[in-house]
Structure 1
Amino acid sequence: MKSILLKSLFFFFIASQIQAQELLPFVENYNKSNYQGDNQIWNVVQGKDNAMYFANNHYLLRYDGVKWEKYTLPNKTIIRSILIEGDRIYSGSYKEFGYWYRKEGKMHYVSITKNLRLFDEKDNEEIWKIFRFNGSLYFQSFNDVFIYNGIHIQKIKFPFLISYCFVVDQNLYVASVAKGTFKMNGSRIANPKGWNVLKNCVVHAIEKYQNKTYIFTQKKGIFTVEKEGLKPWNNSLNEILKSATINVGKFTKNNKLIVGTGNRGVFIYDFNSDTYKNIDRKNVLMNNSILSIGFDKENDLWLGLDNGIAHVEINSPIAIFYDNSGILGSVYSVATTNSGYLIATNHGVFEFDSGKFTMMPNTQGQAWNITEINNKYIIGHNDGTFSYANGSLSKINNISGGWNLSKSSINNTYFQSTYSGVIAYDNLSDLSQRKVIKDLSKPIKYVAQNKKNEIWAADNYRGLYRVVYDDNFKTKKVENITQQSKIKNDFGVKIFEFRNEILFLINNSWYTYNSITNKLEENELFNQNFKNVSDIISIDEDHFMVLQDGILYHIKATGNKFLWNIIQAKYYKGKLINDNLRIFKHANHYLLNLDDGFISLQLKYENKQNSAVKIESFNDENLVPNDSKIKYNTELQINVISGIYGASKPNLFYKLDNNKEYIPVSNGLIVLNNLSSGSHTVKVYKHDGANYDNVANFDFSVAKPWYFSFWMILLYLLIIGAVLFFYYKWNKLRYMQKLRLQAEELKHQREILEMELKAENELNMQEYQKHILELELQTKSSEVAGKSLSIAKQSEMIENIQNILDSEKDFNKLKSEIKKAIKINEVNKHEWEIFETNLNQIHNEFIINLSKKYPILTPKDIKLCVYLKMNLSSKEIAPMMNISFRGVELHRYRLRKKLNLSQEENLSKFLLSV
């Protein structure tokens, strides 16, 4: 019971206390952190260069839509007023007035009053207003008016304190604080008849609108000039303005009156509808004190506040509902009613009527969708489905989560997608009657039909289903078409109906159903025209909206051609509810839901983007003209200035050099770093969603690095030359030292080598002598062996012969036995061969050397040489070679010839040296 009581009290509080914020123009606020200046903005004007200029206490502010600039006067005084004439920006300050001009990307000041004694020392003169009248410029302070004809300055001093001067038609009015408002004729002034009501009253503006003059006073409201005098403006708003403290008033070209107040913000009165809107701190303004009003060429409003600047798009086709309180919550759907709006939010369902919101009973919680059917509003809610008509709400069913409600394109049946499947309503006169599509118990997000007894249902998570049923809505077949079509990434399928054709957006690609193959096929028309689209919302048969790369585009279809109109991201940035964008069309407007409210946009709206953009580039805070050169490794800032601040501001992209990718221009600023040396081109494009149109180019070049400049290269050459020279000298010195060291080392090595050679020679000589001795020993051994063999044989033979002589008496037989003994005692041929082999092995080295030196020698010659080397005599050699003594001598003679020996040379000694 306590819980019910608390809920009832909460509902009563919501229903009775929530105050609605009406649809208001879009407002951009700029505070001191944006423009880095002072608080008060005393004057706002747009220059010939389309930049906005502001008198901001100690600063002249300039804003071109991309960059804020601030400038101070030479004497650092407060700037109270500015006026634009051509390329000059006139400004008035404390005992000073002059003009500014722009050159090389910066503002420069020229004083008109310099060295002129125009101001009294005792007066604290400040120029509060500048205006042109009768061909001259007027600089007005609270005490004087200075008239400047371009050459001379005339000073007019008033006998009383004045507030402001006003030019109306060809008349000049001077408003004093205490004595009323006067009409000025030359140097004479007169108080118009019937204007006494303005005495002791501050007049802040006198404006003429539709042949009627309006006078705006600070605390007495607005007066109109009639024949009999002044009369209070006959409008209910006037009473509100009296207590709001009027600071400034101006009329616009589209039949609106703008009144800036001291404590209630700004009032925008529309003469066409006889209604007004109040923009103040309760909704979107930063503060309620309006000090100045200005307009741009789009007829949008600029407010100079007591603390900051506000840009109000009063001429924009877009209006926005702001819910700064947060009580309303995130808006999921909104519909226009006869008396206001019906809004479905995550907090419940609210009715807007007579400037107030009321939460509908029993609707607390998540509401999803509102659809109008025959003057009834069907509301899909987390707790079921409701019907709203003529201020009363009734519940149709308790089926949870009515996400969307779509009408069949072939009959009057409506299909509702819910948490648990699809519901069909085929009797519009009684919506409580419903048919449930069975065998599809899934959370279905979108439903569509363009063929009898067949619907298409997209799962909230993944999958697209084709459902076939009979006339009684009994399910016959349920097919997962994305699986049959082998589409792997089928998450978040969206269904879009376009001219009786159903299209499916799956993973950024468009598909249609081929009933012959029973599969999805890519749609060529939509895939060519709508790439990178993440969401699409239908408005009517010829209009729809797409979300492409985070930007909304309003599309108008004409045949197979599409007209794209950008809706700038500033209206909804960070406020779109992903996958839950909904549009409600009413007359020539449509409403789009946001996180904190909704947008109203004209259906006929065409955003004709401005294509005349200007480029200003800065490097090290210096203006860089086109085709200029910048320093290496420095930052280049390119400001792409459209001169447009409102709804028709172009959507810009750029390319650097031959880069294929289009890069968004963020807030009109392109920042380039780490550029390579050489020529570069930046091409700026306007993008309407379908096409990229080149609107501006900027060519520049980057200088070579300082370390590659001419003088640095020359320095490098000098350094290299010096290094090479010193390297040459150093190498030469090292070389000479090396030569000396080498000479010393060589000398030392030579000495060592000589000592080593001497020792080696001695060693070799010893080895040689040892070798000779060994050879001689071997030779002697051979000789001894040979002689021993010979002696042994001879001894044996003699002994045999002796024995024969002793035993035999017969001479003949003795002779025969002696011969036989001699034959027996002859050296065996085999034994002789063995002897020769041994002899050859002993003298092998000698034989090899001799054969190499004298290849013409025969084996018999070599054998003789061996015997001679053994120092054998010819007599000893004869039997060994089986030749006569004479034969040995003859062989020796021939050998000398072969060895080319002279007669003086000894053959045996020669052979010993071989």
Structure 2
Amino acid sequence: SQALRGTYVNHVLQLSDTRLSISTQTSGLFIYDVETNTIERITAQDGLESNSCLRTFQDYTGNLWVGMQSGIAIVYINSPMRYINQEIGLNGSGYEAFESENGTYYSTSNGIYFLPQNREQCIFLRGTEGPAYGIQEIGGNIYACHHTGLFQLLSDQARRIATTDGLWDVKQLNSNPEYAIGGTYSGLYLFRIDDNQYLQPIQQIEGFNETSRFFEEDNHGSIWVSQYYRGLYRLILSEDFKSVIPEKITTDDGTPIDQQIILSSIDNELYIATSEGVFQYDQTKNTIVEDDIFSKLIGRQSVYLFEQDKQKNVHLITENQVGFFKKISSRNYVFVPSSLYQLRYYLNNDLLNISSNTERGVLFSSNEGFIHYNPNLENQLSSERPIAISRISSVTQDSILYLLNPFEKKPDHDLNLVIGPYDKTIQIDVESYQYNNVTNPKFRYFLKGLDDDYGEWTSASMKEYTNLKEGKYEFNAQARNHLGEIFSTQILHIQVDPPIHLSTAFKLLYILLGCLLLLLLFRGQKRKYSKETLKIEEAKEHQLAEEQQKLVELQQQKEKEMLALTEEKMKSELRHVNNLLAASTMNLVVKNEFIENIKEELKEVNKKDKNVQTSQALKKIVKEIDTSLRLQEDWEQFEYHFDQVHGDFLSRLRDQFHDLSPNEQKLSALLRLNLNTKEISNLMSISVRGVEVARYRLRQKLELEKGQNLSKFILEY
């Protein structure tokens, strides 16, 4: 071979298939396929320690071990993945690949490349500088979508067909094969297929201007467009295909079709991949329903790629899964985890895409070129349990409780372990038997009876538990390999015995002692209850007697209050009657004084009148007045009643102030009755000024100080 010319060969190994492994002194390792007459070179640039390869060995899994002067390496020659990038002159992030009779086309972020048959380096197609996207064959011609429009690919040349506002992809209509539609940055573009089967641009389709990277045609001829951040649309084409009527798809049941939408056609049915799983468009019911084929495995997680290849495999990339659904029969798929899982972070996540227009596999868009993936080469693990519990030890007692010896057959049944109360800390080691990949698996652990669920994934292949309480537990460990597959160990049943003072015999003794103690407590409580009952009864009797005494005292108090009220009422009525009597008597006194004055005036008239008859008549009137008038007795009667009402007021006043005149005593009595000056003036038949003079004289005789109120003194006396 031209590739080996001038190279010193150290070793040649016939592999288990039609290939040869050729170790060279300075040029690395060559893998030559006798059947296809192709050769693959692996050097230090691909990961070898050096290009000096001495010898190779193939293990039973098909992997190739390489001995070099500076160490050893393992080469996964049966890996279903291969990088396609700068080694063949391909630059930029990949998007789409298309294999034709003359070679393979690659669209990248830098432009379009062409790799001719039997050539090792790509040719860049001039005029295609800039991001390139989908590549399709329509009418026997190959077309490439580009940032600037549409190109027709002719081996090592690209001819511009149309200039558009970016073009993601172009697809021939199933309902009208003479037309094709392209998805642009701002809607859809209409193409017509002429008689020579060439695409002819017509115009931008009116009525819809959202970016249309993902679009599909349903069985009714409607166009469905999923806009990653704005949701799902259904477009009804006009009869001339030049305009559409858009309908934004919404649901009432909470189906998440508002953002992160990817539209796919699987077995001629529309599927919608979302941030919460996969849904399907039911064309008979014209509604979005949850998928019943793939959702059982996918569940409610974000889906980033969901597309079917030519072999009818449905490729899937989700938040936690990478693989494909292998079609067995109609609506019958089996999920196969993919080795691509370990390279998922190298994919072109901004424009994630899969190309199925190539032989022997599919191409995934990568940050640098492409990753070629052949599902038929996916090497699955054997059905033998790939993870097992290898050792259980007591850290506290420094002893081994369980050990799986090397080369010993792994048990296929559950394990049982009984540990004592003094094994405060135990360590459980697990071992993963996965020889087909050097990538360390991840582990997680769950101890039922202590944990609520599995813990986080970790690279530690052991788990330590401290201070387990007595009881029964179930331990299970899981391992996740590079395919994303999860395997579980056999269940380990752990029984932690209690300390001797908590053993069954001691518990029975505790129960007997407890019963005895309860009996003693019961008797003591019974005696205490009897004493307390007696005390309570005595206290109740004492309380009853006190309450009865209080009732008697309360009754007596009420009677006293009623008596006092009655007495007060009688006194009030008596004072009222006496006041009326005093007032009446006073009025009588005043009238008598008035009559006395009339009598004196009659006497004066009699003295002046010389008429004997008149004189006799006047004397007779005066005599009758004297007979009926007893002024002094009326005053004494008033004074008596007044003192009865006012507590001997006049008597006490005369005893203290001896020189009070009768008029001053009367004035004092009227002031005691709280009469005003005008009322006193009328009763005493003197002027208001006379009353004031009389009050002044009374103040002097009562020896009141300046500023001291006379009425207040009389009322309070």
TM-score, normalization by structure 2: 0.57
Q: Which residue of 1 aligns with 2:367?
A: 595
Mark the CA change 1:499 to 1:294 in structure 2 (over 3 Å): closer, same or farther: same
Q: Work out the CA distance in 2 between the residues paired with 1:691 and 1:561.
A: 21
Q: Which residue of 1 aligns with 2:234?
A: 466
Q: Which residue of 1 aligns with 2:435?
A: 643
Mark the CA change 1:435 to 1:515 in structure 2 (over 3 Å): closer, same or farther: farther
Q: Cα RMSD over matched residues? A: 4.0
Aligned amino acid, residue 566 of structure 1: P
Within a 5 Å distance, the mapping from 1:855-866 to structure 2 comes to: none
Q: Work out the CA distance in 2 between the residues paired with 1:391 and 1:326.
A: 14
TM-superposition CA deviations, 1:225-281 (whole Å, max 9, x none): xxxxxxxxxx55553333xxx333322121322122222111112222233221102
Within a 5 Å distance, the mapping from 1:346-425 to structure 2 comes to: 346-353=109-116, 354-412=119-177, 413-425=179-191
Mark the CA change 1:434 to 1:617 in structure 2 (over 3 Å): closer, same or farther: farther
1:255 to 11, 14, 18: 18
1:656 aligns with 2:446: yes
Q: Work out the CA distance in 2 between the residues paired with 1:316 and 1:373.
A: 34
Q: Work out the CA distance in 1 between the residues paired with 2:426 and 2:359.
A: 55
Mark the CA change 1:258 to 1:340 in structure 2 (over 3 Å): closer, same or farther: same
Q: Which residue of 1 aligns with 2:476?
A: 682
Q: Work out the CA distance in 1 between the residues paired with 2:426 and 2:131.
A: 54
- Whether contact under 8 Å (1:609, 1:650) holds in the other structure is no
Q: Work out the CA distance in 1 between the residues paired with 2:176 and 2:454.
A: 45
Q: Which residue of 1 aligns with 2:279?
A: 511
1:304 aligns with 2:83: no
Q: Work out the CA distance in 1 between the residues paired with 2:170 and 2:374.
A: 24
TM-superposition CA deviations, 1:753-772 (whole Å, max 9, x none): xxxxxxxxxxxxxxxxxxxx
Aligned amino acid, residue 565 of structure 1: V
1:551 to 321, 346, 349: 321
- Whether contact under 8 Å (1:653, 1:663) holds in the other structure is no
Q: Work out the CA distance in 2 between the residues paired with 1:411 and 1:639.
A: 60
- Whether contact under 8 Å (2:164, 2:184) holds in the other structure is yes
Q: Work out the CA distance in 1 between the residues paired with 2:467 and 2:175.
A: 63
Structure 2: where are the runs of 5+ without partners? Answer: 405-414, 504-717
1:611 to 383, 391, 394: 383
Mark the CA change 1:485 to 1:627 in structure 2 (over 3 Å): closer, same or farther: closer
Q: Which residue of 1 aligns with 2:490?
A: 697
Q: Which residue of 1 aligns with 2:288?
A: 520
Q: Which residue of 2 aligns with 1:293?
A: 56
- Whether contact under 8 Å (1:498, 1:541) holds in the other structure is no
Q: Which residue of 1 aligns with 2:332?
A: 561
Q: Which residue of 2 aligns with 1:774?
A: none
Q: Which residue of 1 aligns with 2:609?
A: none
Structure 1: where are the runs of 5+ without partners? Answer: 1-234, 714-914
- Whether contact under 8 Å (1:642, 1:650) holds in the other structure is no
- Whether contact under 8 Å (2:432, 2:479) holds in the other structure is no
Aligned amino acid, residue 682 of structure 1: N
- Whether contact under 8 Å (2:232, 2:248) holds in the other structure is yes
Distance apart, 1:302 and its partner CA: 1.2
Q: Which residue of 2 aligns with 1:456?
A: 224
Distance apart, 1:467 and its partner CA: 0.8
- Whether contact under 8 Å (2:13, 2:20) holds in the other structure is yes
Distance apart, 1:460 and its partner CA: 3.5
Distance apart, 1:539 and its partner CA: 0.7
Mark the CA change 1:398 to 1:575 in structure 2 (over 3 Å): closer, same or farther: same
Q: Work out the CA distance in 2 between the residues paired with 1:671 and 1:311.
A: 27
Q: Work out the CA distance in 2 between the residues paired with 1:663 and 1:271.
A: 50
Q: Work out the CA distance in 1 between the residues paired with 2:51 and 2:168.
A: 41
Aligned amino acid, residue 346 of structure 1: S
Distance apart, 1:673 and its partner CA: 4.6
Mark the CA change 1:305 to 1:676 in structure 2 (over 3 Å): closer, same or farther: farther
Distance apart, 1:556 and its partner CA: 2.0
Comparing both structures, which one devotes a greater share of its residues to helix?
A: 2
Within a 5 Å distance, the mapping from 1:62-211 to structure 2 comes to: none
Mark the CA change 1:587 to 1:351 in structure 2 (over 3 Å): closer, same or farther: closer
Q: Work out the CA distance in 1 between the residues paired with 2:257 and 2:338.
A: 30
Q: Work out the CA distance in 1 between the residues paired with 2:164 and 2:277.
A: 33
Comparing both structures, which one devotes a greater share of its residues to strand?
A: 1
Q: Secondary structure at the match of 2:345?
A: coil
Q: Which residue of 2 aligns with 1:241?
A: 7
* % identity of equivalent residues: 19
Distance apart, 1:695 and its partner CA: 6.0
- Whether contact under 8 Å (1:381, 1:400) holds in the other structure is no
- Whether contact under 8 Å (1:655, 1:682) holds in the other structure is yes
TM-superposition CA deviations, 1:67-109 (whole Å, max 9, x none): xxxxxxxxxxxxxxxxxxxxxxxxxxxxxxxxxxxxxxxxxxx
Mark the CA change 1:238 to 1:488 in structure 2 (over 3 Å): closer, same or farther: closer
Aligned amino acid, residue 304 of structure 1: G
Q: Work out the CA distance in 1 between the residues paired with 2:77 and 2:103.
A: 21
Aligned amino acid, residue 435 of structure 2: G
Distance apart, 1:580 and its partner CA: 1.7
1:323 aligns with 2:117: no
Q: Secondary structure at the match of 1:572?
A: helix
Distance apart, 1:360 and its partner CA: 1.6
Aligned amino acid, residue 562 of structure 1: Y
TM-superposition CA deviations, 1:326-353 (whole Å, max 9, x none): 9712212222233443221122222223
Q: Work out the CA distance in 1 between the residues paired with 2:332 and 2:455.
A: 26
Mark the CA change 1:253 to 1:607 in structure 2 (over 3 Å): closer, same or farther: closer
- Whether contact under 8 Å (1:628, 1:699) holds in the other structure is yes
Q: Secondary structure at the match of 1:574?
A: helix
1:336 to 99, 117, 121: 99
Q: Secondary structure at the match of 1:528?
A: helix
Q: Secondary structure at the match of 1:596?
A: coil
Distance apart, 1:383 and its partner CA: 2.0
Q: Which residue of 2 aligns with 1:445?
A: 213
Distance apart, 1:583 and its partner CA: 1.9
Number of equivalenced pairs: 469
- Whether contact under 8 Å (1:449, 1:455) holds in the other structure is yes
Q: Secondary structure at the match of 2:218?
A: strand
Q: Which residue of 1 aligns with 2:539?
A: none
Mark the CA change 1:274 to 1:294 in structure 2 (over 3 Å): closer, same or farther: same
Q: Which residue of 2 aligns with 1:432?
A: 200
Q: Secondary structure at the match of 2:62?
A: coil
Q: Which residue of 2 aligns with 1:828?
A: none
Distance apart, 1:679 and its partner CA: 3.8
Q: Secondary structure at the match of 1:595?
A: coil
- Whether contact under 8 Å (2:389, 2:489) holds in the other structure is no
Distance apart, 1:616 and its partner CA: 5.3
Distance apart, 1:291 and its partner CA: 3.5
- Whether contact under 8 Å (2:265, 2:307) holds in the other structure is no
Q: Which residue of 1 aligns with 2:355?
A: 583
Q: Work out the CA distance in 1 between the residues paired with 2:46 and 2:356.
A: 24
